[in-house]
């Protein structure tokens, strides 16, 4: 309720402020939905608080062609198209501004992020039996593009692959100075309830040992803080989670760790203890990270860059849905938003604000789509009327709005189905899945 309430209220606040600015009478502006529990009047507007804190709404004077018009200059239909455009556009604009502000606040706090994210996607390891291995993608290959979309960092690569599960894509790569193309079909990773494509390539990074417990198996075997673990029993280790899993599977069983110490490779045999059936060696490990701590101006600049990048991904996803390149199963609705909000809240305010920024950006941009019934749809109809130099009839507008309503209902049914299918016990009741 908090996340959706804030986002919808900010959206409606934009419409309200713009209406007041151009001189349109607003009969009522309410925080939350009915029933109204507190209200007061100032000027021509009643300000109220509703019992359901899921957003807000404004009641603008003579908002539709069916309303009785008095001809007063404070009615929205008495205003010019430019003035009405300002009222319509300010709702999405407020959501976009909120996304910028929240992202800047999150970035200003600083964070430790994977060091490889902004590095070129040079393959460090390929999982055995993975789609990449079957398509002859090898360690050392530099990935240039995915489905004709350039990817110059690991972050962009993972986004491009993750958004195309179970869809064959063309990967252009460079090997020993020669450009090659490979066809590969990403599979759902299975590590998330959302369908995220994966082809089994990993960056050239490895976990670091940051501390060794005295007297534990790792200490007795000669492991030291600062060692970089490259492999376990010949299997490349990229992330600390892989190392933890490998150790857990070897209780009372010797394992050979290939490490990097002082620029030199070494092999060390360590025998994990058996703790309740799980291997234990007594080390603390972390992935290779880098710290980001921008100043206020830099945080705002980074926020603009990040939101522009994410906006491009949103439009790419919408186009992918139209061209059937993106799976509708990746969409999420109110149930999934509630789940993510709860999970983010448990992680703290920064994670929750980050989620709010992402949803606000989506809300702002999707409201600008030229679908009748959305703000962008009303703007689109006004643009058509301007080009035709006449207003459309009430009947024509009703048909357009009905078409937009049908599209939105189809989308709503799809996302709610996706949300329910991701809940394990409900998913088990769907034999067709």
Catalytic residue among 12, 61, 62, 195: 12
Are 51 and 37 spatial neighbours (Cβ–Cβ below 8 Å)? yes
Half-sphere exposure of 420 (CA within 13 A, CB side): 10
Q: Which residue has the tokens 């759902």?
A: 188
Encode burial over 279-302: b for 16+ CB neighbours within 10 A, e otherwise.
bbbbbebebbeeeeebeeeebbeb
Catalytic residue check, 12? yes
What does residue 18 show for φ and ψ, rounded to 5 degrees? Answer: -65, -40
From first CA to last CA, the distance across the chain in angstroms is 31
Give helix 394-421 / helix 375-388 axis angle, nearest 10°: 150
DSSP of 384-398: HHHHHTSPPPHHHHH
By three-state DSSP, how is residue 289 classified? strand
Tokens standing for 413?
């049914």
What does residue 361 show for φ and ψ, rounded to 5 degrees? Answer: -60, -45
Helix (H) or strand (E) segment spanning residue 86: helix 81-108
Query: Is the bond preceding residue 419 a cis peptide, omega within 30 degrees?
Result: no
Half-sphere exposure of 72 (CA within 13 A, CB side): 13
| CA atoms 349, 188, 330, 421: torsion sign | negative
Please state, in angstroms and rounded to a whole number, the distance separating the CA atoms of residues 263 and 271: 25
Please state, in angstroms and rounded to a whole number, the distance separating the CA atoms of residues 280 and 253: 11
Among 142, 146, 137, which Cα is nearest to 164's?
146
Please state, in angstroms and rounded to a whole number, the distance separating the CA atoms of residues 341 and 349: 11
Please state, in angstroms and rounded to a whole number, the distance separating the CA atoms of residues 228 and 318: 42
Beta strands in 115-223 (DSSP E): 123-126, 142-146, 149-150, 169-175, 178-184, 187-188, 197-198, 201-203, 208-212
Q: What are the start-end ranges of the H helices in 229-295? A: 240-248
Residue 328 per-residue DSSP state: G
Give catalytic residue positions. 12
């Amino acid at each position: 309720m908090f996340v959706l309430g804030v986002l919808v209220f900010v959206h409606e606040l934009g419409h309200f402020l713009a209406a007041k600015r151009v001189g349109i009478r607003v009969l009522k502006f309410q925080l939350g939905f009915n029933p109204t529990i507190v209200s007061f009047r100032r000027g021509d507007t009643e300000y109220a608080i509703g019992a359901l804190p899921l957003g807000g709404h404004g009641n603008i004077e003579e908002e539709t062609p069916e309303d009785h018009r008095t001809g007063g200059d404070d009615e929205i239909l008495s205003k010019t198209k430019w003035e009405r455009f300002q009222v319509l556009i300010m709702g999405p604009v407020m959501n976009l501004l909120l996304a910028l502000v929240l992202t800047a606040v999150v970035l200003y706090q600083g964070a430790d992020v994977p060091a490889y994210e902004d590095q070129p996607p040079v393959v460090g390891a390929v999982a055995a039996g993975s789609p990449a291995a079957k398509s002859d993608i090898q360690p050392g290959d530099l990935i240039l593009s995915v489905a004709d979309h350039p990817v110059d960092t690991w972050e962009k690569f993972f986004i491009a692959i993750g958004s195309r599960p179970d869809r064959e894509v063309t990967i252009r790569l460079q090997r020993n100075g020669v450009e090659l193309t490979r066809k590969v079909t990403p599979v759902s990773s299975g590590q998330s309830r959302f369908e995220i494509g994966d082809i089994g390539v990993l960056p050239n990074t490895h976990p670091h040992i940051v501390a060794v417990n005295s007297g534990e198996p790792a200490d007795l075997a000669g492991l030291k803080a600062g060692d970089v673990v490259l492999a376990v029993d010949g299997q490349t280790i990229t992330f600390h989670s892989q190392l933890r899993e490998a150790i857990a599977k070897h209780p009372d069983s010797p394992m050979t760790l290939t490490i990097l110490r002082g620029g030199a490779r070494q092999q060390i045999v360590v025998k994990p203890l058996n703790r309740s059936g799980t291997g234990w060696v007594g080390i603390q490990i972390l992935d290779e990270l880098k710290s980001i701590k921008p100043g206020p101006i830099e945080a705002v600049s980074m926020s603009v860059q990040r939101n522009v990048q994410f906006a491009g991904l949103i439009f790419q996803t919408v186009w992918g849905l139209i061209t059937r390149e993106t799976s509708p199963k990746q969409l999420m609705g109110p149930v999934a938003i509630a789940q993510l909000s709860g999970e983010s809240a448990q992680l703290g305010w920064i994670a929750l604000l980050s989620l709010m920024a992402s949803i606000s950006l989506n809300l702002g941009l999707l409201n600008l789509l030229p679908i009748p019934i959305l703000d962008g749809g009303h703007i689109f109809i006004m643009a058509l009327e301007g080009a035709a130099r006449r207003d459309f009839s009430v009947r024509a507008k009703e048909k357009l709005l009905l078409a937009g309503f049908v599209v939105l209902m189809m989308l709503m049914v799809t996302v709610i189905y996706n949300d329910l299918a991701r809940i394990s016990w409900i998913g088990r009741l769907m034999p067709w899945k």
